[in-house]
Chains A and B, each alone.
Chain A
Amino acid sequence: AQSVTQLGSHVSVSEGALVLLRCNYSSSVPPYLFWYVQYPNQGLQLLLKYTTGATLVKGINGFEAEFKKSETSFHLTKPSAHMSDAAEYFCAVGGGGGNKLTFGTGTQLKVEL
């Protein structure tokens, strides 16, 4: 079975500050890891994904995440927050030949002036 824990259901940062959203996973097989963003009343947009290879993954809109197997983590970062980054972010795990994604409960990011 696979599971995801997102620490912090709400995170607030100032515009221009570092964004750090935390994700820890559990998986009995090599995981595929994902970060999705969801704006109000919209579906899920893929920010970035890790499948194999380089553990530092760069995504869209300046986001990146690092797969740390020893820590079972896949935290999402962005050096400088922008007002347009305010949204809900979901970490998800899949892989091992499985046909589904298991999502965390999400982190609502608020960006303040």
Chain B
Amino acid sequence: GVTQSPTHLIKTRGQQVTLRCSSQSGHNTVSWYQQALGQGPQFIFQYYREEENGRGNFPPRFSGLQFPNDSSELNVNALELDDSALYLCASSISGQVYGYTFGSGTRLTVV
């Protein structure tokens, strides 16, 4: 399956954070979603073969990386209080949304 780390973390406003995701074996696409409290997940961006392949309505301080070994990162710079959320990673084959497998998420709290 898809594993995410860490499961929880607390950061201070203005800091930077890196969240990690290990995709399901054989999947070449990773998508990241932000789920604020009481809301549905919102698409941040997708990476396919190590290149960004679509982005939602998120500022450039949200960035990502995808590595050849099925792992990926979500980086957020200059953290704001509103960045507090559950961040979900989903892997799939060639970006096919009907084949998403979600991880359990990382709960980020910004204070």
A complexed with B: yes
- Interface size of B in residues (CB-CB distance below 8 Å): 25
Q: Which residue of A lies closest to B53 (CB)?
A: A99
B-contact 0/1 string along A93-108, CB 8 Å cutoff: 0110011111111100
A-contact 0/1 string along B8-47, CB 8 Å cutoff: 0000000000000000000001010100001111110010
Q: Is the CB of B104 within 8 A of A101?
A: no
A99→B49 CA distance, assembly (Å):
14
Q: Is the CB of B88 within 8 A of A43?
A: yes
Please indicate the chain B residues that have their CB under 8 angstroms from the CB of A105 in the complex. Answer: 38-40
A82→B2 CA distance, assembly (Å):
28
Q: Is the CB of A44 within 8 A of B88?
A: yes
Please indicate the chain A residues that have their CB under 8 angstroms from the CB of B31 in the complex. Answer: 99-100
Query: A63 at the A/B interface (Cβ < 8 Å)?
Result: no
Query: A51 at the A/B interface (Cβ < 8 Å)?
Result: yes
The 9 residue pairs across chains A and B that have the minimum distance between CB atoms: A103-B40, A94-B97, A100-B43, A43-B104, A44-B102, A99-B95, A43-B102, A99-B54, A43-B105
Residue positions of B touching A, CB distance < 8 A: 4, 29, 31, 33, 38-43, 46, 48, 53-54, 56, 88, 95, 97-98, 100, 102-105, 107
Residue positions of A touching B, CB distance < 8 A: 4, 32, 34, 36, 41-46, 49, 51, 90, 92, 94-95, 98-106
18 residue pairs A–B, Cβ–Cβ below 8 Å: A36-B102, A42-B104, A42-B105, A43-B4, A44-B102, A45-B102, A92-B40, A94-B97, A98-B97, A99-B48, A99-B97, A100-B54, A101-B41, A103-B41, A104-B40, A105-B39, A105-B40, A106-B40
